[in-house]
Amino acid sequence: MRETRLWSLYLLVIPIIFVLLALHFAVMHYSPVFYGMSDEEARNFNTMIERGRSVAQLVLYILLLATSLYHGLYGLRGIIRELPLSAPLAKLTDVGIVLFGLFIFFFGAYVTWWTFSFKIGG
């Protein structure tokens, strides 16, 4: 039952990642179209920081980070679990992947929050 829930969540995050990635590309790479600015202005450091400081971008980045990490690490777990592992080694693999995922998530969330609260020029 637990594996079925994990697998279902693995499949559920695929369309979520697709939508979040499409939003990210639309805002970050097609901003001249959506915001009516020149390519140079859209790529300006201050403009990118200001876009990154919006609450919508913060939420988008955190959700994209969480869903992508889950999808990627669950897939990696599936590949590793295909190997002939003993029960203790399989459990250690699961714990290691969860700890690694939590570390990367909190580090990524911290960097995203730092960027969100970054003050330009001081």
pLDDT digits (tens, 9 = 90+) for 86-102: 999 999 999 999 999 99
Q: Which numeric CATH code is attached to 2-117?
A: 1.20.1300.10
Q: So what's the pLDDT on residue 122?
A: 47
Residue pair 52/115 in contact (Cβ under 8 Å)? The answer is yes
How does residue 119 score in pLDDT terms, banded at 50, 70 and 90?
low
**Full-model pTM:** 0.83
Q: Which pLDDT tens digit goes with each residue over 32-53? A: 666 677 777 777 777 777 777 7
Torsion of CA 58, 72, 15, 59, to 10 degrees: -10
Domain boundaries, the chain: 2-117
